[in-house]
Amino acid sequence: MKSTKIDKAVSILGCRGIPGNYGGFETFAERLALHLTEQGWAVTVYCQADTVKQIREETWNGIRLIQVPSPDAGAFGSVLFDWKAVKHAANESRLVLTLGYNTAIFGLLYRLKNVTNLINMDGLEWRRQKWRLPEKAWLYINEWLGSWLGNHLIADHPAIKTHLSSRVSGDKITVIPYCEEPPSKVDALLLNAYQLKPNQYALIIARPEPENHILEIVSAFSSRPRGHKLVVLGNYRPKKFEYHRKVLEAASDEVVFLGAIYDKAVLAALRCCTRLYVHGHAVGGTNPSLVEALSAGSAVLAHDNPFTRWVAGPEARYFKDASDCSAKFDQLMDDPETLARMQQASLDRYWEDFSDQRDLKAYEALLTQYAANLSPVRQPQKAAPLAKVESRTKAL
């Protein structure tokens, strides 16, 4: 009889590192790494560090952190960090989870080293307006390469799987939407520090980028007095970025810019106490910030596209442009009964598909499947005479 011992070890690459202070992949990587560690996995996370001169190991909450020196900021620094991380992981890992496809070309090294690489293919990154043509071409090519080089692909939204299925077989793709735990405790008094009152403001939490439609939302809200505030979170640098300047110039006195906030308690209070959560993202799959808004029971007004419609559901409200957004503000801001129904619908949608850490459990199940395929078959101590031992072929 044969018995298999699964080597539950995985290296996570593609994010800036943990603890997560950036949102997006960093927050997810932290959640997943902590979950897997609790389930007995040996987890390694590669972190981008500008304060070290050589690769250094640290431990955080039982997770092995590989601090990779990357002093250069911007896109080149990220590419250099990814290359250093991939080289290191390819020499010591058997199972890798890559978050994003921005440098999927480096997956050639995994193939040469016989390393199994599962890739979260993220959204349609190459469609973002902020990229110049050469950058868009790089991302588009890497999306193709990631589709072919990855041993298995993860899509965070059904529409992303549909898109990727034009490149590879659908059997190679697993849909795992991002999930989030609902806030366990909400302290509305935290709003006092920002001169905000519960149910007296609308809320935007997004990076200030054109595809997030912040300019359209701010312009729409500022088109006439609302009697409420619009609270905008994000790091705005108008002297460096023209788009940031345009957003600030379009804002009325009722628009409040609070900067980037990462305090989870404050974010929970802002989401749970908002009158209306406004989500303008148009590029990507299941956006974690939108899921967090659903978990907080926020009424949702979102940009009209297949990604947001599937996540927020039919009871949310949607806008196509600035004029349409202004009309939706006119309809909703002074209609507490409709907003109350939308809040309940958000909670219902959250519990339907995004609760109970379903994403973490699904990732663990997928990783376990591949770890089992990679693990050697061990013979029992007392083998039967003349028993033949068959070798297990790696499944890539």
Tokens representing residue 96 in the block: 């890798």
CA distance to 6, 232, 389, per residue, from 383 (Å): 20, 67, 10
- Could you tell me the residue range of the domain that residue 240 belongs to? 188-353
The pLDDT tens digits for 363-389 are 999 999 999 988 764 443 443 333 333
281 phi and psi, to 5 degrees? -60, 135
- State the average pLDDT over residues 322-338: 97
d(CA 179, CA 106): 29
- C-beta of residue 15 within 8 angstroms of C-beta of residue 102: no
Question: How crowded is the C-beta side of 107, counted as CA atoms within 13 Å?
Answer: 30
270 in the same domain as 135? no
| 240 located within any domain | yes
The pLDDT tens digits for 256-315 are 999 999 888 999 999 999 999 999 999 888 998 999 999 999 999 999 999 999 999 999
Please report the pLDDT score of residue 73 as a whole number: 64
Task: Indicate the pTM of the whole model.
Answer: 0.85
265 in the same domain as 226? yes
Four-residue CA torsion sign, 141, 142, 145, 146: negative
| 386 located within any domain | no
215 in the same domain as 69? no
Query: Which strands, in side-by-side order, build the sheet including 300-303?
Result: 255-259, 229-233, 201-205, 276-279, 300-303, 317-319
d(CA 94, CA 137): 30
Average pLDDT, the chain: 89
| 128 located within any domain | yes
206 in the same domain as 59? no
From 393, 375, 362, select the one nearest 97 (Cα to Cα).
362
d(CA 279, CA 10): 34
State the pLDDT confidence band at 395, using cuts at 50, 70 and 90.
very low
92 in the same domain as 146? yes
DSSP string, 281-331: --SSSS-HHHHHHHHTT--EEEE-SHHHHHHH-TTSEEESSHHHHHHHHHH
- % of the chain beyond a pLDDT of 90: 73
327 in the same domain as 239? yes
| pLDDT higher than threshold 80 for residue 252 | yes
3 state DSSP class of 153: strand
169 in the same domain as 28? yes
- C-beta of residue 67 within 8 angstroms of C-beta of residue 88: no
169 in the same domain as 77? yes
- State the average pLDDT over residues 19-31: 79
Tokens representing residue 302 in the block: 């979102």
| 229 located within any domain | yes
| 392 located within any domain | no
d(CA 250, CA 254): 11
Contacts of 220 by beta carbon, 8 Å cutoff, 6+ apart: 319, 322, 323, 325, 326, 328, 329
| 393 located within any domain | no
250 in the same domain as 341? yes
320 in the same domain as 283? yes
| pLDDT higher than threshold 70 for residue 93 | yes
- Scanning 39-178, the segments in alpha helix (DSSP H) are 74-90, 107-113, 133-149, 158-164
284 in the same domain as 145? no
140 in the same domain as 36? yes
| 391 located within any domain | no
Please report the pLDDT score of residue 378 as a whole number: 42
The count of structural domains within the chain is 2
State the pLDDT confidence band at 134, using cuts at 50, 70 and 90.
confident
CATH number at residue 312: 3.40.50.2000
CA distance to 48, 130, 230, 263, 280, per residue, from 257 (Å): 29, 22, 8, 16, 16
Question: How crowded is the C-beta side of 25, counted as CA atoms within 13 Å?
Answer: 21
Four-residue CA torsion sign, 177, 348, 292, 328: positive
| 164 located within any domain | yes
